[in-house]
Amino acid sequence: MSSSNSVRDNLPWVEKYRPSNLDEVYGQQEVVQTIRKFAQDGRIPHLLFYGPPGTGKTSTIIALAREIYGKNYRNMVLELNASDDRGIDVVRNQIKTFASTRQIFSTGFKLIILDEADAMTNVAQNALRRVIEKYTKNTRFCILANYSHKMNPALLSRCTRFRFSPLTETAIEERVEDVIKEEHLKVSDEAKKGLLKLSEGDMRKALNVLQACAASVDKGEEITLDMIYECVGAPRPQSIELVLDSIMRHDWTDAYATMNKIKSTEGLALIDLIAGFVDVLSQYELKDRTRMDILEGLGDIEYGISKGGSDKIQSTAVIGVIKRALENEA
């Protein structure tokens, strides 16, 4: 095996399977079509890609840049991460140096990719807006962000905006199937379904979970649904139902014991259990009032945990909230 192959083999799968061209960006057809058209017409505006993590924002702009620049990529593209703790001055200087260096061999716009731009302060965003204006003659900016509402409106108005939606299970499945084949994995059908669901539209999560599971099995051993839950750190629905059942039918002491047992055997924190309850309860038939009481109560407890509340007290509070609401229901 050549060394470049083994380097590739040791990469995290999110890097190894980063789309190498726009055709490998799944589930974002509209965005891909439109920006491809821009590129073909040679009229690329400043771009803003926004949407939740793991939906292909970074991958898409890099793939586009590869299509436009090919071998010239390194000379023509500057990738900056705005969340690096370096302030707007550093960004401004890097942009200035990059944008004002003359190209001998190539013509056309240079491209500056500014990743995680919503991490920038408003002051920095204002400064960035002026930088963009200053260098518009020979550069194009592509700004990437999770939330467009964290972006300065004056900056937004200078960009053509594209929203990256959470990926559909079908889009994630396409990529996951590629990886399963390439890595010679055995994955049960229910494990595959579980993986797609638990990824919640985030391809990065899907690939990371799959890689963690693959690392925990022997060659040729099948990846099961339980392993998927374990790698995600999410409780299995059966476990949540077990705890709920115990809360409904047993007294406090028993319910508390059941809850602790599930927590320790599955390696879960209370906060994971709470997320599990919310998920499972959405499939139960309950009066609106009961559902509201439970959700409100769990919300308060979640907040309590985030403020450093004691695990034992918060655990018993969970039991209390659910018990009381269900008793009122009856």
CB of 12 to ligand ADP, least distance (A): 9
By beta carbon distance, the residue nearest ligand ADP is 56
Give me the torsion for CA of 249, 255, 257, 260, rounded to 10°.
Answer: 130
By beta carbon distance, the residue nearest Mg ion is 58
Radius of gyration of the chain measured on its C-alpha atoms: 25
Binding piece for Mg ion, criterion CB under 5 A, among 58-66, 85-93, 159-167, 308-316: 58-66
Binding piece for Mg ion, criterion CB under 5 A, among 13-21, 51-59, 134-142, 147-155: 51-59
Q: In this chain, which of 58, 125, 139, 315 binds Mg ion, going by CB under 5 A?
A: 58
| 23, 107, 141, 160, 237 from 138: Cα distances, Å | 28, 9, 10, 17, 55
The token pair at 26 is 């799944």
CB of 192 to Mg ion, least distance (A): 25
Residue 28 binds: one of ligand ADP, Mg ion, none (C-beta under 5 to 8 A by kind)? ligand ADP
The token pair at 65 is 């840049």
Q: Which is nearer to Mg ion, 50 or 256 (CB)?
A: 50
The closest of 160, 116, 109, 107 to 136, measured between CA atoms, is 109
60 lies in the binding site for Mg ion (CB under 5 A): no
CB of 55 to Mg ion, least distance (A): 9
Residue 264 and residue 276 in contact, taking contact as beta carbons nearer than 8 Å:
no
**213 beta partners:** none
Q: Which is nearer to Mg ion, 68 or 145 (CB)?
A: 145
C-alpha span between 311 and 318 (Å, rounded): 10
The closest of 150, 141, 177, 146 to 54, measured between CA atoms, is 146
* Alpha carbon 154 to chain centroid, angstroms: 27
Q: Which is nearer to ligand ADP, 29 or 40 (CB)?
A: 29
Q: Which is nearer to ligand ADP, 141 or 164 (CB)?
A: 164
CB of 272 to ligand ADP, least distance (A): 23
The closest of 23, 80, 85 to 56, measured between CA atoms, is 23
The token pair at 90 is 């550093």
C-alpha span between 30 and 140 (Å, rounded): 21
The token pair at 183 is 């890595």
Q: Which is nearer to ligand ADP, 23 or 222 (CB)?
A: 23
Q: Which is nearer to Mg ion, 18 or 134 (CB)?
A: 18
Binding residues for ligand ADP, per CB under 6 A?
Answer: 14, 17-19, 24-28, 53-59, 164, 167, 175, 203-204, 207
The closest of 65, 59, 69, 67 to 24, measured between CA atoms, is 59
CB of 323 to ligand ADP, least distance (A): 41
CB of 20 to ligand ADP, least distance (A): 10
Q: Which is nearer to Mg ion, 58 or 246 (CB)?
A: 58
Footprint on this chain of Mg ion (rule: CB under 5 A): 58
